[in-house]
Amino acid sequence: MIKFLGLLSKKKKVKPELTASIYVAILQNVINEGFVEIKGFINNNNNLVSSPNLSNNDIVDFSTIIFLGNIQNLSVYFEEDHVSILRACILDSIYKDLEGNSQNLAIERFLDYENYFKELIVKYDSPVSAMAYGIFEKFNINDYQGALFKQKNKPNPILFNELKNLLKHFIWNWDDYLKKNKLKF
């Protein structure tokens, strides 16, 4: 009975702000390390007629797409009011180094892109698929495809599936985190 009430729980109680800080730091590290792989995969892909020539500067847009996919995934693990709190903490943590108007503009840009991303979630069945299509559109990959897929304005399915498989590595593992931690809202 005591264990049922959570009195003997071995989970560490963590505030949403700390969780968001850890979440953002780890995801940013994964993005910084993994973007090299994604950039190489896209730039050197045999399913494209020519290279999109993604550069290191493209990591900013890539990062936005990764965070949006992960934020959409929050609703799988948390109730709506907790998602709102955690989302706000995550945005604060992402843009903590910016001040004043720069921070407001960055958050506004993120929120605008979030509206577009929500449309992708409706169109595609998962955050990972929406992330892959967001990358396809954001980096104008259609311009580098063969004539058939270029005309259809749809990603080559082989390229798309390979990209989705790579992007799965950029999804936060809430199952593991919540085995060890309990969020204290």
State pLDDT tens for residues 61-71.
999 999 999 99
b/e per residue 44-73 (b: at least 16 CB within 10 A): ebebbeeebebeeebbeebbbbbbbbbbbb
SS3 of residue 13 by DSSP: strand
Burial of 37 (0-12, 13-18, 19+ CB in 10 A): exposed
Please tell me the distance from the alpha carbon of residue 38 to that of residue 23, in angstroms, as a whole number.
Answer: 21
pTM of this prediction?
A: 0.91
Residue 8's pLDDT band (cuts 50, 70, 90): low
State pLDDT tens for residues 11-69.
899 999 999 999 999 999 999 999 999 999 999 999 999 999 999 999 999 999 999 99
Yes or no: say if 47 and 163 are a contact pair by the CB < 8 Å rule.
Answer: no
The conformation of residue 4, written as its DSSP 8-state character, comes to T
For residue 7, the model assigns a pLDDT of 54
Say which range, 8-12, 38-42, 88-92, 176-180, has the weakest mean pLDDT.
8-12
Phi, psi of 183 (to 5 degrees): -75, 135
For residue 2, the model assigns a pLDDT of 44
- In the beta sheet, which residues pair with residue 182? 13
